[in-house]
Amino acid sequence: MTLRISRPATLTSLAFAMAACHAHAEPVTATDAVVVTATRTPQPLANVISDTITIGPEQIAQAGAGSIIDLLKRQRGIEIARNGGAGTASSVYIRGANSNQNIVLVDGVRIGSSTTGAANWSAIPMTAIDHIEIVYGPLSSLYGADAIGGVIQIFTKKGQGAPALTAFAGYGSDKTREADATLSGATGGEHSFNYAISAGKEKSDGFSATRPGTTSYNADRDGYDKENASGQFAVQIAPGYEAGALFLHSKLESQYDSGASAYNVRSKAELETAAVYGKAKFLPNVDTLLQYAESQDKGQNWSSAAAAGYSRIDTKQTDITLQNDVRIGADVLQVLYDHRKEEVSTNGDTALNRDRTTNSWAASYNARRGANLLNASIRRDNSVYGSKNTGSIGYGYDITSQLRATASYGTSFRAPTYNELYYSGYGNPANKPEQGKNAELGLRWDDGVNALSASYYHNRLTDLLVSTTPCPYAGYKSSCVYNVNEALLEGVTIAGATRVAGVNLAANLDLQDPKDETSGKRLARRAKKHGNVTADYSIGALKTGVELEFSGDRYDDAANKNRLGGYGLVNLYATYSFTRDWSALVRWNNIGDKQYDLARFYATPGSKVFAGLRYGYK
């Protein structure tokens, strides 16, 4: 069946969503939540125009062991692909945008590889995360290159209140073991010192990353071993003045398949972020932030015992940010300068061993006038790939105290990766950035018990960088990459939640048409429809929940020849609080032991059970 997203169909879907509000409503997030990512400054979600959700500590605690993308794929607007189990290479698609067309931040620090342009999701430790914010749509005018589909920001645990210790230990299928602990608190007083220190370890024997049918297949188990440490520290120097530091270190060792050899094919990834910052209120209406940050994405691979079987690619990113938020009555004018340096070091192609610098200036304005909300932003980025100007404008109108309509338009771009610019015989230094233009309409309802959101987006991409074999240009190897394609990411997202007879119900549905307009084919590994349904019920200290994940079919290749069938998964979980401080978790994923595909010839988890004991979580 072919699904075509048209404007009449979109308007019908929006109208249906509003009409269905009382019958099947869903709060996407709490209206009193404060979010940072949508405007780069703390702001009540009720005042945010951008389509934004948060994943709170309770959802993260209920997720059990495994990769962060197992949690993300249960959110609206997100699809994933993975080459095996939780420790293997993964991709996250936001509203149909590629994994390298989205930005990932950890406590405001950008992470990712400059050679591939994407974050290493498997190396991000779940045990260190406090909460997650997801902002959908183009944010290049706030964050620069690569924010075409959206921005995902991960926040690690932060100290507050009296000293507290939390700890967790669990065990599950495939001999999966997990343990973590956090010590946090604040001293209080005039010069309060906040602190949080976390450490965790997760290990699993795993399952075979591949299935029969590919030359890479090996029937052995492909496990992983992940350990991490993180910390946040801040001191109040004086009223309005704060200094702080934060860090995250995660090391992942994982196995994968590369044929039937007995050799231990494996990889090692290290993710490191660190930042020091100062906040100052030089004037009563001006808040200034100065931050220096570094992130490193280190990767090593051992594909065979031969010397040529070892490879290493490291990326280091350095950012200096100066941000001034000027409050003009209830409005906020933000002026930003950002200096970003990327460095790559590899033992392979020496053409990649180089650095590039991007200098950026940006300004944004957020205003509220009665029932009217307005934001606008502009940015200029200067780098070796040229200068790029981006901008956005958004408007929201409160039709009633419960119902809001929004409209926005924004431009974005993705910078060519090091591979696309410099890889010998493949990249081209003349390649230009990909460009995006997104228009969006939305309706949101929230009466405190029921809530519903419905969004239509139309994101047209030009100058897409495409790998072509054989290369049409002389002087290249068998393939090369160049700007040639256009794509359209168009869709409708509906999400809602309500409470019926003590049962919390939530659901989301994405109807989309992510298409390569040059070839007329659907973009690889993206379905035309996908969604989730959840329900939970509490009886005293016991809370039980059920999750349904479903997706339509996808294609594994750009030519749309290798079809991956649709699937539906059912997960169950339960938590029980023995006392104020002690609780237990049991999670059973894929209870039907469904075999499904996220990438051709790569295995996915079957029926898996995980149980754990937690201390100190409130």
Question: Which pLDDT band holds residue 1 (cuts at 50, 70, 90)?
Answer: very low
> Looking at the predicted structure, is the pLDDT value of residue 176 above 70?
yes
Which residue shows structure tokens 């995980």? 610
- Per the omega criterion (within 30 degrees of 0), is the bond before 470 cis? yes
- DSSP string for 64-132: -SS-HHHHHTTSTTEEEEESSSTTS-EEEEETTB-GGGEEEEETTEEE--TTTSS--GGGS-GGGEEEE
Q: What is the pLDDT of residues 572-605, one digit of tens each?
A: 999 999 999 999 999 999 999 999 999 999 999 9
Domains annotated for the chain, with CATH where assigned, are 34-615 (2.40.170.20)
Q: What is the pTM of this model?
A: 0.94
What tens digit of pLDDT does each residue of 15-53 get? 444 333 333 333 334 456 899 999 999 988 888 999 999
Determine the average pLDDT of the residues in 132-138. Answer: 97
Residue 8 has a pLDDT of 43
pLDDT for residue 31: 52
pLDDT, position 89:
92
pLDDT, average across residues 64-93: 92
Look up tokens 């994923």; give the residue. 589
7 has pLDDT over 50: no
CB half-sphere exposure, 280, CA atoms < 13 A: 8
pLDDT at position 18: 38
Query: Which pLDDT score is estimated for 439?
Result: 98
What mean pLDDT is predicted for residues 270-289?
97
Least confident window among 63-72, 193-202, 361-370? 63-72
The per-residue pLDDT of the chain, averaged, comes to 92
Residue with tokens 């280091």: 316
Q: Using the predicted structure, report yes or no on whether residue 14 has a pLDDT greater than 50.
A: no
Nearest Cα to Cα of residue 443 among 11, 74, 79, 38 = 11
Whole-number Å distance between alpha carbons of 534 and 547: 4
Q: What would the mean pLDDT of 128-146 be, rounded to a whole number?
A: 96
Instruction: Identify the three-state secondary structure at position 175.
Output: helix
Q: What is the DSSP string of 222-258?
A: EEEEEEEEEEEEEEEEETTEEEEEEEEEEEEEEE--S
Quote the percentage of the chain above a pLDDT of 90. Answer: 87
pLDDT digits (tens, 9 = 90+) for 355-395: 999 999 999 999 999 999 999 999 999 998 889 999 999 99
At 20 the pLDDT is 37
Neighbours of 504 (CB within 10 A): 17
Cα dihedral 426, 431, 392, 516, rounded to 10, equals -60
What is the reported pLDDT for 448?
87
Is the pLDDT at 617 greater than 90, yes or no?
no
Greatest distance between any 2 Cα atoms in the chain: 72
